[in-house]
Chains A and B, each alone.
Chain A
Amino acid sequence: MLEIRDLAKSFGSFAALGPMSFTLDREHVLTVIGPSGCGKSTLLRLVAGLETATRGDIRLDGTPVDGPRSEIGVAFQDPRLMPWLDVRRNVGLGLWRWPAAERAAAVDAALAKVSLTGFADALPKQLSGGMAQRVGLARALVGRPRLLLLDEPFAALDPLTRMRMQDHLLDIVGGEVPNVLLITHDIEEAIVLSDRIIVLDGPPARIRRDVVVDLPKPRKRTSAAFQEIKEFLLGELFPADGRLAA
């Protein structure tokens, strides 16, 4: 269970986030959407332990998160691969404590999940943007994290690849990862993947809406219910005139 209580973050005198509180428990995928610059990445970086909160606290299964934790996997908006390491070593970066055989098996399994089995020995410079992004995803998954944090993981992909990745993300993540916190700009992506959507506005980032998405998965983008939720979220994101933005 991820508990966020009265969390607030300022950079100097600039209030970037909060205060906000929410809890992520049974929902598999919780998505945070909001306009650019509203503080979404700041929220994710706080949960990842990369920033320290100005106020409030973050707990994962009761333990405070005050620095990076091995039970939390993170995939960033850009792949952030080490150019000097091959794909295998990039994916296995965080598994240095593991016995070699186990590490190799875990890396192979993670690469298979993102359909990159043949590329274990490739260097990052030999990968396409989409492949690199999938390596980043594999790296976040490989340690079987308790909580997976994804910051706009598909934003840099072309629309077709992005849609394919969205459709496959739930297979890739599987049931092994109990909770996923996803950040995105993409309303359709949010509806395809999430059990719950938090709409932020800001800065400072504050919760504007907290929506449970109760549609069976896999979800069809064309269904009436899907469109209805989309209209609603657009209305929340562009309060002045939802139609215009759609």
Chain B
Amino acid sequence: MTDIVTDAGASLAAGRGRGGFRLRLPRGVLPHGWRALALPLAVLAAWQAVGALGWTDATLLPTPLAVLGELVRLATSGELLSNLAVSFRRVMLGFAAGTLVATALGALTGYSLQWRAYLDPSVHALRTIPGLAWIPMFILWLGIDEGSKIALIALANFFPTYLNFMSGIARVDRKLIEVGRVNGLAGARLVGTILLPYSLPFLFVGLRQSMGVAWLVVVGAELMGASSGIGYMLMDGEMTGRPHLVMACMIVFALSGKSTDMILAAISRRVLRWQDTVEKD
């Protein structure tokens, strides 16, 4: 019996070996946490070398150091901070407005089958319109200034939060609701004690998706017509043929999106400490 098992295992391994080929990296050269950085650093180094040797056209592909230099220049001149503040404000106001409406409506449709039947299909129908397609309408309605941009971000933010929060509330464990009822909880108290906490994990999933979408949409909004913001700088870099500025702005967007997501993740970890899940981000 044992022999057969061993043979089967061996032939299985052999079969796997025959079909493919082995590509094994040396172990233990880099500590685990650093391995993710190996590839980007190598690419950057090669890129820098190629650029420094003059093999590429600097007006099309600036070297990493040139981009870094541009970032430093933007940061020290105050240009970066003032434009980042504008974009950040748009993202935050849109995010706040979208979240507010989404949680209120999501709570309603999640809790009540009646409201869901009336409202939810319309929400899904609206969702099929791509977010950026609203730009012309919003500009017509709200002008080219802040209003239309914030409205666009708010609208795009609404859907992930609404959908996740609603499904969280709708999925609340009937057994826990019964515990609430036999303990005399009803109405707002039942919502606050059981429904809301139960759906918080879902809400946070929605909020993080929304925040990602907000940074996505702010670029679109600022590209369409703005006189400030990181998206405007990006556009400006294109118009004036400064690829290092364009790349610097791309990096700023990446860092901004990542840091707001990390903040939300940290808040969610704290708030959802009670969750019995494997700890990971």
Query: What residues of chain A have their CB less than 8 Å away from a CB belonging to chain B?
Result: 48-50, 68, 70, 72-74, 76, 78, 80, 82-85, 93-94, 96-97, 123-125, 139
Contact = CB atoms under 8 A, between A and B. Distances in A.
Interface residues of B, number: 20
A76 B274 contact: no
13 contacts: A48-B182, A49-B181, A50-B182, A68-B183, A72-B182, A82-B193, A82-B197, A83-B276, A94-B182, A94-B184, A96-B189, A125-B275, A139-B183
A183 to B, nearest CB: 15
Contacts, number: 57
Interface of B: 175-176, 178-185, 189, 193-194, 197-198, 200, 273-276
B184 A80 contact: no
Contacts of B193: 82, 93
A66 B90 CA distance: 53
A34 to B, nearest CB: 22
Nearest to B271: A84
Given A83-B274, A123-B274, A125-B274, A76 B181 contact: no
B179 A93 contact: yes
A156 to B, nearest CB: 14
A187 to B, nearest CB: 27
B182 A82 contact: no
A38 to B, nearest CB: 21
Given A76-B175, A96-B189, A125-B274, A82 B181 contact: no
Contact of A80 (B175, B198, B274): B175
Given A125-B274, A125-B276, A82 B184 contact: no
A62 to B, nearest CB: 21
* Majority-rule SS of A interface residues: loop
Given A80-B175, A125-B274, 4 more contacts: A68-B183, A72-B182, A76-B175, A96-B185
Contacts of A97: 184
B184 A76 contact: no
Contacts of A49: 181-182
Contact of B274 (A50, A70, A84, A94): A84
B176 A82 contact: yes
A50 B197 contact: no
Contacts of A124: 274, 276
A72 B176 CA distance: 17
A50 B194 CA distance: 17
B184 to A, nearest CB: 5
Nearest to A149: B182
A94 B183 contact: yes
Contacts of A82: 176, 179, 193-194, 197
Nearest to A140: B182
Given A50-B181, A94-B184, A123-B274, A84 B197 contact: yes
A94 B175 CA distance: 16
B274 to A, nearest CB: 4
Nearest to A93: B183
A72 to B, nearest CB: 7
B275 A80 contact: no
A222 B37 CA distance: 70
3 shortest interchain CB distances as A-B pairs: A94-B183, A125-B276, A84-B197
